[in-house]
Amino acid sequence: MQANILVVEDNAKTASTMQLYLEREGHKVSVVHDGLRAIEVARAKHPDLIILDVMLPQLNGLDVCRTLRRESDVYIILVTARTTEQDKLQGLDLGADDYITKPFSPRELMARVRAVLRRQRPQPEEELIVIETNGLSIDLARHEITLNESPVYLTPSEFKLVRTLAQSPERVFTRQELVERTFGYDYAGLERTIDAHIMNLRKKIEPDRLNPSFIVTVFGVGYKFSRGSNVS
């Protein structure tokens, strides 16, 4: 699908390469080189996807992500030279949908872009279903979650993931199955992202994230949604 994509990258050569490959795939691309300008252009043009470098002048990419996520559900791929798990989790926790680590190949970037854009395909209309268990309420139609009647704010990717799990309680999903069912793409690299999203979800919905009762790990297999079992 053709998309409007905003590339935010302060290195002109890297930005030019990204633009070239994206335009070859039929996308309309805008390029900016600092964080403040990124926010201005995102607000004015309403892109479908933002490819956002973390290390930027004026305002860093994490602050840009935090600001835009308060205003919009635009899809965001973070580009980072930082490789620690904590750095990646921080970006996902701020609302990024995926991350890619420098150095990366144009082929990998295009795969990540296709993966995210496929999430925007129209989904079959859902029945008005509310899943409730042990104080957790998931309204699938309204995309709303509450825990003990208090709202829980999830990113679009986090909601899709918990929806996939909760619609089939006690069914064990492999990471690859969650990639395919949640994000609609079989790119194996996204399996790492599933673990990061699960960690963030547990922070938000588990009364005790070190001893999860809703999103349960089935060791050697994957994850399942449990109606209150106290298994980690």
Per-residue model confidence (pLDDT) at position 229: 44
For residue 34 the two structure tokens come to 């600092």
- Integer angstrom CA distances of residue 167 from 130, 148, 162, 211, 222: 10, 20, 8, 22, 16
- Residues with Cβ within 8 Å of 167's Cβ and at least 6 positions away in sequence, in order, are 131, 140
Residue type, position 221, single letter: V
Identify the helix (H) or strand (E) that includes residue 173. Answer: strand 173-174
Per-residue model confidence (pLDDT) at position 231: 37
Tens-place pLDDT, residues 165-178: 998 888 999 888 88
Give the Cα separation of 150 and 145 in Å (integer): 8
Q: Is the pTM of this model over 0.75?
A: no
Fold of 4-118: Rossmann fold (3.40.50)
Residue among 232, 118, 226 at smallest CA distance from 181: 118
Per-residue model confidence (pLDDT) at position 120: 53
Residues of the chain with pLDDT under 70: 1, 83-85, 87, 120-128, 183-191, 228-232
Residue among 64, 78, 56 at smallest CA distance from 9: 56
- Give domain limits for the chain: 4-118, 130-225
Per-residue model confidence (pLDDT) at position 190: 62
Residue among 216, 194, 196 at smallest CA distance from 206: 216
Per-residue model confidence (pLDDT) at position 232: 35
Give the burial class of 186: count Cβ atoms within 10 A of its Cβ; 0-12 exposed, 13-18 middle, 19 or more buried.
exposed
Domain boundaries 130-225, corresponding CATH code? 1.10.10.10
Query: Strand pairing of 75-80 and 173-174?
Result: unpaired
Per-residue model confidence (pLDDT) at position 122: 45
